Amino acid sequence: MRHAEFFSATYSEARGKFLDACTAAGAVVKSLRNPNAVGPQGEALYTDVARFGPAESELLFIAASATHGVEGFCGSGCQVGFMRTRSHEARPAGSTLLLIHAMNPYGFAHVRRVNEENIDLNRNFVDHSRPHPASSAYDEIHPLILPDDWDGPARASADRAIAAYIAERGMPAFQSAMSGGQYAHSDGVFFGGRAPAWSNKMWRGLLAEQMPGRRRVAFLDLHTGLGPYGYGEPIFLSWPDMAAFERARQWYGTDVTAPEAGTSTSAVVRGVVATAFADLAAPAEITGIALEFGTMPVAEVLGAVRADNWLYARGDPSSPRGREIKRQIRDAFYCDKDDWKGMVFERADAVLREGFAGLGS
Ligand SMILES: [Zn+2]
């Protein structure tokens, strides 16, 4: 079986493949429509939830895609592959598996990391009833991130200032300032929002329905954009729960990283979707990781995020320049090459099976 066939060129094609695979594999599917947005062809946008196994059980495994929209080209392909290769059948006896297709369907359909409100869903799970975390490091660079023009003197000047920042303080400091998450600039990058996004409410509603009665829960969130080409880095999501960290390393190996320990390609971020588990009263034991697949060097990935943000804040996505930027961001989060897809699927499938073994242990 050619792994490249699991992957799709658009959200609509991906959704079609996912639903077809669900039907063939006998999943129970629930489709949740995002009423606040449509796709580029005016199509309806859904998060689709496929269930294998009983509705009620002690053991639950959740594998999610497209928390960061455009990263769904990868995650959707993995989920389709899980079903076509019948990996779903390797879950522990009596357990439940949920495949969540397109946590952020707007971003997937429009080839953006963010949702319909320019929100990074993985920075949106903070307590919005309290003052938002300050982000002075981002405040300082925001004017450089969003220059007035893209082809003129403002962009050129901003690029020189960014190069000077990186030369002086290092790339990790710039990555942290840019991607750590911020709540002050709704036209900026890695914006966490000021209220729960549709996807946030959808996910919390799903968990409220799914968590009662569970004893152990595993969460696998599929991402792209950081690390070496085709490598899948398992990133621990529930720092500082050290018991869960040890469990994740038992299940997935000692290469499980944590941004807070300085071992990950990711900056320390707050408000990730896995945070929602901690808010539930259910006493289940949670073991959550992101699986982050590398695409291209981080400077190019951050450059693509900056360009796409500029395009929607100041530019015209339908212009020739706009189409060029859309190509740039797609390439930054999805390597449309057979060797990459093969590496990605084999790694994701191995990690899924390690997670199943851990869940059943
Ligand atoms: Zn991501």
Query: Per-residue pLDDT tens for 49-70?
Result: 999 999 999 999 999 999 999 9
Does residue 355 register a pLDDT over 60?
A: yes
Mean pLDDT, the chain, as a whole number? 97
CB 263 within 8 A of CB 328: no
What is the whole-number distance in angstroms between the Cα of residue 113 and the centre of ligand 1? 8
Show me where the domains of the chain are located. 3-129+194-297+326-359, 136-188+302-322
Q: How far is the CA of 225 from the centre of ligand 1 (A)?
A: 7
Q: Are the C-beta atoms of 108 and 37 separated by less than 8 Å?
A: no
Distance 71 CA to ligand 1 centre (A): 6
Of the options 3.90.25.10, 3.40.630.10, 3.40.50.1440, 1.10.260.30, the CATH number for the domain spanning 3-129+194-297+326-359: 3.40.630.10
Beta bridge partners of 29: 50
**What count of Cα atoms within 13 Å lies in the side-chain half-sphere of residue 160?**
5
Q: What is the pTM of this model?
A: 0.97
Q: What is the pLDDT of residues 279-333, one digit of tens each?
A: 775 689 999 999 999 999 999 999 999 999 999 999 999 999 999 999 999 999 9
Distance in Å, CA 224 to ligand 1 centroid: 5
Task: Assess whether pLDDT exceeds 60 at residue 111.
Answer: yes
Residues 136-146, mean pLDDT to the nearest whole number: 98
Q: What is the pLDDT of residues 219-269, one digit of tens each?
A: 999 999 999 999 999 999 999 999 999 999 999 999 999 999 999 999 999
Res 214: pLDDT: 95
Mean pLDDT value across residues 173-184: 96
293 CA → ligand 1 middle, Å: 9
Cα(361) to centroid(ligand 1), Å: 29
Do residues 217 and 60 make contact, with C-beta atoms less than 8 angstroms apart? yes
Ligand 1 centroid–CA 152 distance in Å is: 30
